Amino acid sequence: MKKTMIMAGLLACMGITAQAQDTKSEEPKGKAIVQVFGNFHTGFGAENNDRGFELDRSYLGYEYKLGNGLSVKGVMDIGKSSDVSDYQRIAYIKNAMVSWKTGSLSLNGGLISTTQFNFQEKFWGYRYIMKSFQDQYKFGSSADLGISATYQFANWISADAIIVNGEGYKKLQKNDGLNYGLGVTLTPVKGLQIRLYGGLNESGEDGKKDIANLAAFVGYKHEKFTIGAEYNQMWNASFKDDAGQNGYSIFASAKLSQVTNLYARFDNLYSQNDWNISKDESAAILGAQFKVGKYVKIAPNFRMSMPKADGANNSYTAYVNCYFGF
């Protein structure tokens, strides 16, 4: 009896020790999220005399890993109002989310990052200089309230699904419509990635049309260079009938050294039957990026905007963008 009790005690101690070791290997870990985007810009000619220093956006937050695949994240987005008459800074909660990863499955819930153009934005790699095409031209929001799931079927294919309110992270839900999205990412060979995405944003109101989105992306990433191209189509923009928009973006970057990159991009935006001709444009950017230490990047660049409206003149702007983050 004593031997049995001693053996049970030893086994219990071993189990507690093993559990403690497992727990130790999954100790909670947290990290601060700090990203600051700034720039100095100046226009050229009578068509664009805007110039000055600008604190474009700041992200401040914290991410905490709870162990067993669970993590939580909260991020504040501090920027400026889109209303040109509003000179005050504004702040929003961009992320307030819980994530769980087990094996090939990842789940997210709360105020989450959306999947519509997150992949393209990371591939572009210069968010602090310019948003990716769909974000730049308001084809969707970068965050929203809802749930998403991603499953890695094999090394070369993954799929994701998302259901969110549809208003984005800056607005409260005002109707019963939801935004649904499905995406597939393929990596047929090393470095080559293909992304397909389709979404439907319900209007939730009589007399308004549902918004539909379709996006296709292909990119190749090498240790010395990156090249990518995307095509995007949106039907019933702003829930309006026959208010379609489409366009494409082509970009490339080259790594000259450990601290120096060159990059270029060309965007082209159209609206169906010219319903939004005042905002239709072709845009180009060319520049360089220099890494200053671990946390700072400086990126001088030159931009050209070519409006499609009759009588509108091209505008030219020189920028020096700065990034600080960890």
- What average pLDDT values come out for the chain (326 residues) when binned by 10 residues? 39 37 60 96 81 93 96 94 67 96 97 96 97 96 97 98 94 87 97 98 90 98 97 95 95 98 98 94 98 97 95 94 97
Distance CA 79, CA 37 (A): 10
Q: Which regions of the chain does DSSP assign to beta strands (E)?
A: 29-44, 51-67, 70-80, 89-102, 105-113, 143-154, 157-164, 179-189, 192-201, 211-221, 225-235, 245-255, 260-271, 281-292, 296-307, 315-325
Q: What is the pLDDT of residue 86?
A: 56
CB 259 within 8 A of CB 253: no
Fold annotation for 28-325: Porin (2.40.160)
Distance CA 227, CA 243 (A): 31
Q: Residue holding tokens 């602090």?
A: 128
Signed CA dihedral, 267, 246, 127, 54: sign only:
positive
**H or E, element range at 23:** helix 2-25
Distance CA 279, CA 270 (A): 9
For residue 257, give the 3-state DSSP assignment: coil
Q: What is the pLDDT of residue 217?
A: 98
Would you call 170 exposed, middle or buried from its count of C-beta atoms within 10 A (0-12, 13-18, 19+)? middle
